[in-house]
Amino acid sequence: MSLSKETEVIFDARRGIDYDSANPPLYDSSTFHQKTLGGGAPFDYARSGNPNRALLEEKLAKLEGGSHAFAYASGIAAISAVLLTLNTGDHVILPDDVYGGTFRLTEQILTRFDIQFSTVNTTHLQEIEQAIQDNTKLIYIETPSNPLFKITDIRGAADIARHHQLLLAVDNTFMTPLGQSPLALGADIVVHSATKFLSGHSDIIAGVAITNNAKVADALYLLQNGTGTALSAQDSWTLAKHLKTLPVRFNQSVENAKKLYEALHQRDEIAEVYYPGNSDLHLSQAHHGGAVLGFRLKDETKAQAFVDALSLPLVSVSLGGVETILSHPATMSHAAIPKEVRDARNITFGLFRLSVGIESADELISDLNYAFKEAFNESTTRQITEQHLSS
Ligand SMILES: *Cc1c(COP(=O)(O)O)cnc(C)c1O
């Protein structure tokens, strides 16, 4: 059939053709041709499923050792889906230092639907056990936690969950499936902000929930499709591409973080360094200390001067990028918490979090050491910072 130009520009004769490319094509298609009516084509409408998301989910399920993975438009969308598998009247146990966005979701949104939450110090397993009520359905933990890197015993929490017939969900964002495998340790559900290490290039917002429980999987799929929070084809394609370099990116960051820990904990200007690699419990359930650490300046009035004198790290929220990212919890992730509460929780103005990237560790260390010296040198001015930058 010869086509008019108006039809020719629309008609795609190459629909579905596979060129055996090294990378999967981006199936930027909201809908799919259905040759046979009711014929069960693999994809019909892209909110319900598309090839790029399916490929990504298959890979993520394998990496976490789960039977099913579901990719969402953000980490918070994945966490929402996990919590929305519950019903009105159900109760959840959460860490008292849970990720701020998760806290906002529970406190300001889900409680309106009478899903109930108790926050406890999950590093003490007996506090989890004591918080269990007749209507408790889920224990939700994050380890290492943020920004003080507290460690919760995943096997211990899984034992409690099993004993009381509850589900255990673990936010594994900080360790990635390469560093820690919660499903193998007894958890039922793993969530990630794929915005962080999984994508690793600070370019997309994405999340994933993984499970080996078929009932939970059905509920997660219903929520992904039914609330329309699935990850787009474009972002699924980008994330799948970035995942290929996760092992080299993450290993380099982990090695750099070890060296930075050694350098930081020798500095006179620092009161404390928080590094999961120091925790026996953490190392009993993870392969290494990860790539994020925290430190507290002895004199918090030097915090701005320290930032002024730095050249290399990106000073921002987020973590897990190839670039080193320095965050300041008191004015960033935890700014919404009243100062007295923040101070009581030890999130002071002198506390920094460092997500270590893949730059030269030696250069990162010299940059930090320079900034510590400058910040704590009484005669420092911003001009000296500029000299440092131009040298
Ligand atoms: C960033 C983050 C989230 C939220 O993920 P988004 O992709 O920003 O929605 C959840 N948990 C942890 C531990 C995080 O760091």
CA angle 202, 85, 184 (to 5 degrees): 65
Indicate the top mutation candidate among 143, 173, 197 to test ligand 1's pocket, ranked by most ligand atoms within 8 A of CB.
173
- Is 205 a pocket residue for ligand 1 (Cβ < 6 Å)? yes
What mean pLDDT do residues 319-335 have? Answer: 95
Q: Which two tokens stand for residue 321?
A: 């990028």
Q: Is the same domain home to 226 and 297?
A: no
Helix (H, G, I), strand (E, B) or coil at 116: strand
Which of 365-369, 373-377, 379-383 comes out lowest in average pLDDT?
379-383
Domain boundary among 220, 243, 266: 243
- Are 134 and 250 contained in the same domain? no
Query: Is 60 exceeded by the pLDDT of residue 387?
Result: no
192 lines ligand 1 (CB under 6 A): no
What residues act catalytically?
47, 99, 171, 196
Angle at 133 between CA 132 and CA 135, to 5 degrees: 120
Pair (9, 141) in one structural domain: yes
**Same-domain pairing of 197 and 343:** no
Is residue 145 lining ligand 1, measured as CB closer than 6 Å?
A: no
Domain endpoint, select from 183, 209, 243 = 243
User: Please, what is the angle between helix 382-390 and helix 361-376, to 10°?
Assistant: 160
> What confidence score (pLDDT) does residue 124 get?
98
What pLDDT is attached to residue 190?
A: 98
State residue 38's pLDDT score: 85
Predicted confidence (pLDDT) at residue 52 exceeds the cutoff of 70: yes
pTM comes to 0.94
How far apart are alpha carbons 113 and 310 in whole angstroms? 46
pLDDT tens-digit map of 348-358? 999 999 999 99
pLDDT confidence of residue 386 = 47
CATH number at residue 375: 3.90.1150.10
Mean pLDDT of 358-363: 98
* Pocket test residue of 151, 193, 198 for ligand 1, highest count of atoms within 8 A of CB: 193
Instruction: Please tell me the predicted confidence (pLDDT) of residue 2.
Output: 87
97 CA from centroid of ligand 1 (Å):
13
Q: Are residues 181 and 99 in the same domain?
A: yes
Same domain assignment for residues 250 and 379? yes
Q: How confident is the model at residue 388 (pLDDT cuts 50, 70, 90)?
A: low
Do 23 and 153 lie in one domain? The reply is yes
Is ligand 1 within 6 A of the CB of residue 231?
Answer: no
Atom of ligand 1 nearest to the CA of 194: 7
**pLDDT exceeding 90 applies to what percent of the chain?**
85
Percent of the chain whose pLDDT exceeds 70: 95
Cα 381 from Cα 10, distance rounded (Å): 63
Is pLDDT larger for residue 21 or for residue 93? 93
pLDDT value at 385 more than 70 = no
The pLDDT of residue 391: 46
Q: Whose CA is nearest to atom 14 of ligand 1?
A: 193
**By residue range, what is the domain housing residue 347?**
246-390
Which of 243, 270, 296 is the last residue before a domain boundary?
A: 243
Distances (CA, A) of 195 to 75, 236, 266: 7, 12, 32
Atom of ligand 1 nearest to the CA of 102: 10
Query: 48 and 183 share a domain?
Result: yes
Same domain, 217 and 315: no
pLDDT tens-digit readout, 106-157: 999 999 999 999 999 999 999 999 999 999 999 999 999 999 999 999 999 9
CA distance 375 to 203: 32
Cα separation, 63 vs 210, whole angstroms: 10
Q: Single out the residue of 359, 364, 356, 284 nearest to residue 326, CA to CA.
A: 356
Q: Does one domain contain both 254 and 114? A: no
- Domain total in the chain: 2
Q: To the nearest whole number, what is the mean pLDDT of the chain?
A: 94
pLDDT at residue 380 tops 70: no
Tell whether 252 and 179 lie within a shared domain. no
Q: List Cβ neighbours of 63 (8 Å cut-off, separation of 6 or more).
A: 177, 178, 243
Q: How confident is the model at residue 14 (pLDDT cuts 50, 70, 90)?
A: low
- Write the CATH number for 63: 3.40.640.10
Same domain for 209 and 328, yes or no, is: no
pLDDT by residue (tens digit) across 205-259? 999 999 999 999 999 999 999 999 999 999 999 999 999 999 999 999 999 999 9
